[in-house]
Amino acid sequence: MAQIHELSENLANQIAAGEVIERPASVVKELIENSIDAGSTRIRIDFIEAGLKQIVVQDNGSGISPDQIELAFTRHATSKINNEHDLFKVATLGFRGEALASIAAVSHAEILTSDGEHIGARAAFSGGVKKSQEDAAARKGTQITVRDLFFNTPARLKYLKSPRTEIMKIVDIVNRIALGYPQISITLSNKGKVLLRTPGNGNLKQTAANVYGRHIAEKMVEFKADDPDFEINGLLSKPELTRSTRNFMSILLNGRYIKNFKLLNSIMDGYGSRLGTKHYPVAIVRINVDPLLVDVNVHPTKQEVRLSKEKELSRLITTAISDAFINNAESGLDNLKT
Ligand code: ADP
Ligand code: MG
């Protein structure tokens, strides 16, 4: 029998990385989430070669003090939760303390950061090993550069789709995050060519115009509703404007973009017969709820959550949307399907 032994930290990180970092878009998602959690008001993302050659995410958030950089890249090290109670009321996008360690395990990663109090620092990691750290002048905030993603995991590289598809996945996740955080100015570029820029003024309709184009945003109408547990609001396309896939519906739970088939169906139910078969709306549904009612600790990517009172929420969404059409009948929301 082979001897049982503990895996080295590095190998454990590589295994964990397989769950959190599936593709370039996962890196982009995790880094933006960190920037948001750090209180940034401006986030810039640039990638080269679908993110495989390089991804840079720069923010103006809290920064990290030099003596904490190594911890930030250590697995299960986080500033966001302290005890098991916190785990049941997660108010940040991150909490698992896995992203930076996972990213650094499968790339050449560099961080330049300053907390605005100490002199800034620059540090480099390669395949999970810290290579260097030195003082560096930097403005308050953090810039993380990820190069040669999956250079040491060839199987993962092979599994990736075409560059075009990987870019689409990056754009999709950044679009959804931007819709969840209209108060943050987000710029996404492909080797300097701007693909998305949001104003960051809190205006959802303007943000939707940047994401989907003005002609679509103009055909969208605001709606809102609440009950004792949930507060919902967002934008709905008029029934005349439909898409052939479900991909233009976004559910944003306390800002977090989540994947939830049932809630998507509740949006469709709200439209009811106003939509033809195989026609799907463009819809942005923002839900505010006490974090105590949400279990985010379901999946490493945190895109699936477990919701107490999901049925109640489903019903609220459906009625809110169908009411919006009835209430707006005079304003033309309901009968534009000519
Ligand atoms: P998590 O987000 O789950 O805490 P991460 O590995 O993503 O885990 O990040 C580890 C820690 O590094 C965070 O808890 C945070 O304190 C710090 N950190 C990461 N990114 C940033 C950033 N852009 N600005 C400030 N602090 C950051
Ligand atoms: Mg994180």
Instruction: Please check the confidence at residue 331 and state whether its pLDDT lies above 90.
Output: no
Tell me the average pLDDT of the chain. Answer: 94
CATH 3.30.1240.10 fits 219-327, yes or no: no
Q: For residue 327, what pLDDT is reported?
A: 75
ipTM: 0.99
Q: For residue 13, what pLDDT is reported?
A: 85
Q: State both tokens at 149.
A: 């993603």
Q: Which atom of ligand 1 is nearest to the CA of 61?
A: 24
Binding-site residues, ligand 1, Cβ < 6 A: 30, 34-35, 38, 59, 61-64, 72, 78-80, 94-101, 142
Instruction: Please check the confidence at residue 212 and state whether its pLDDT lies above 80.
Output: yes
d(CA 231, CA 199): 24
Q: For residue 127, what pLDDT is reported?
A: 93
Q: What is the pLDDT of residues 116-127, one digit of tens each?
A: 998 999 999 999
Mean pLDDT, to the nearest integer, of 136-151? Answer: 97
Question: What separation in Å is there between the alpha carbon of 165 and the centre of ligand 1?
Answer: 28
- 3-class DSSP state of 131: strand
∠ at Cα 147 (143, 153), nearest 5°?
Answer: 135
Contact by Cβ (8 Å): 212, 231:
no
Which listed ligand is nearest to 102 at the C-alpha?
1
Mutational pocket test of ligand 1: of 20, 28, 32, 78, the residue with most ligand atoms within 8 Å of the beta carbon? 78
Mean pLDDT, to the nearest integer, of 144-173? Answer: 96
Mean pLDDT, to the nearest integer, of 50-60? Answer: 98
Strand order in the sheet with 220-226: 220-226, 230-237, 283-289, 249-253, 256-258
Question: What separation in Å is there between the alpha carbon of 246 and the centre of ligand 1?
Answer: 32
- Helix pair angle (261-271, 310-327), 10° resolution: 30
Higher-confidence position of 325 and 224: 224
Whether the full predicted model's pTM is greater than 0.90, yes or no, is: yes
Which listed ligand is nearest to 39 at the C-alpha?
1
Q: Which residue shows structure tokens 């950044």?
A: 174
Q: What is the pLDDT of residues 83-105, one digit of tens each?
A: 999 998 999 999 999 999 999 99
Higher-confidence position of 270 and 17: 270
Domain boundaries, the chain: 9-197, 219-327
Mutational pocket test of ligand 1: of 30, 36, 37, 140, the residue with most ligand atoms within 8 Å of the beta carbon? 37
* Same fold: 9-197 with 219-327: no
Bridge-based pairing of strands 249-253 and 42-48 is: unpaired
Spell out the residues 6+ positions from residue 154 whose beta carbon is closer than 8 angstroms to its own.
Answer: none
Return the bridge partners of 194, or none.
189
Pick the CATH number of 9-197 from 3.20.20.70, 3.20.80.10, 3.30.565.10, 1.10.1660.10: 3.30.565.10
Mean pLDDT, to the nearest integer, of 275-304? Answer: 94
Question: What separation in Å is there between the alpha carbon of 47 and the centre of ligand 2?
Answer: 19
Q: For residue 245, what pLDDT is reported?
A: 95
From the list 48, 19, 18, 47, the residue with the least C-alpha distance to 32 is: 47
